[in-house]
Structure 1
Amino acid sequence: MARQTRLPQPLPFAQQVAVFTRLAEANPMPETELQFVNPFTLVVAVALSAQATDAGVNKATRALFAKADTPQKMLDLGLDGVTEHIKTIGLFRQKAKNVIALSRILVEDFGGEVPDSRAALMSLPGVGRKTANVVLNCAFGHPGQAVDTHIFRVGNRTRIAPGRDVEEVERAIEDNVPARFQQHAHHWLILHGRYICVARKPRCPDCIINDLCPYEEKTV
């Protein structure tokens, strides 16, 4: 049996408080960069964002949501109509099928309403744990931690939330980030990873938590 790599210890509580205090002061009310008008359009937008940029999804969904902002309207638009609107997004054919399928399930099984349950959300085609957590957080105000590649990188580099996979990082955020920062933690971390703690040549000189971060390969 292969031996598992031992994870480093997460940042101590006092440093976690200092990190998130600074992130909160810099951006008190962070929000998802995906554009949506209600929980249903958020589900669709997040499902479409897999292997695509938020900007690309927003460009495609602007016209789509103007025509179909409820599950029934999406069904009325039909597979061909959805496909035509999102054809600029990667994997658009399968994603269009998922949008129609999840819309049908929402109409038939949930009365046209988006459920505020992770298990129920994950029963929808094209909706995984990350998508469900985004919806729970952004649409219903639950402190769900949607871990993507940015958060996985930041969590491990900074030791805010070390983990070998996204679920370990999710649990580490829940276990180690102070409760008062849980609601917005994943937004702060994803934005930090997207614009400052980037994969190649992280912008360490511009980082507001530089002195609190133990990452050994900092840029100068």
Structure 2
Amino acid sequence: MNFRHSLLLLALCALPLRAEFPADLATPDYRIVPGENDASWLPLVADLKAKPPLKAVFNENRYFPFRKGPAKLTGEIRLDPVRGLSLHYLTPEDRLMVVDEKGGFMMDERGRRRELPDDPRAQAATKALLNVLRFDLPELAKNFLLYGARDGSSWRFTFVPNPGPLASVLNPITVTGDNGLVKTIEMRKAAAQRVEILIGETKTGVTFNEAELTKFFR
């Protein structure tokens, strides 16, 4: 082995290993039942719940069966324990999506607001998404079957809606991360249709001033 090959091998060894998870976590081996077998998950969940208020940048890929590649969007995500979730899209167009205890709304760059459908099932779906990002396992267990796996510091949760009205409007949600930070959120509608949110630089424990609360939340 020559010197160049030795350097290449060292460089490859220095690369972080990609976490290995089963293709489908929704099996009995990975089921999490709060209060029964979740003890080993509680420190991680407590760490995740303690992170907000937080702000992060994200890239969103939307896959459709009629497109070869994904539609790409970028923006900022804000999560506040009281105000809820705010997605501020910057490209390809400026718009805002807010999900909170009251439901949710969309707002375009001209400030025109459109409330999300006032339908019990749709409202349940938006609230479920908010609870997923709050990592409230007992609350989530009311509407989802919970599954999780870990590989070193990397982890993966899959939340499968219980059979019933919620399952008709919401498909499984998968969240992955490393230590106490979320890295990806995936919402799959069909084999060839899904939304993938890749979360980048994250600032935790931030304080949103009054101007930010007014602009990015309800």
TM-score between the two structures when normalised by the length of structure 2: 0.28
More helix by share: 1
More strand by share: 2
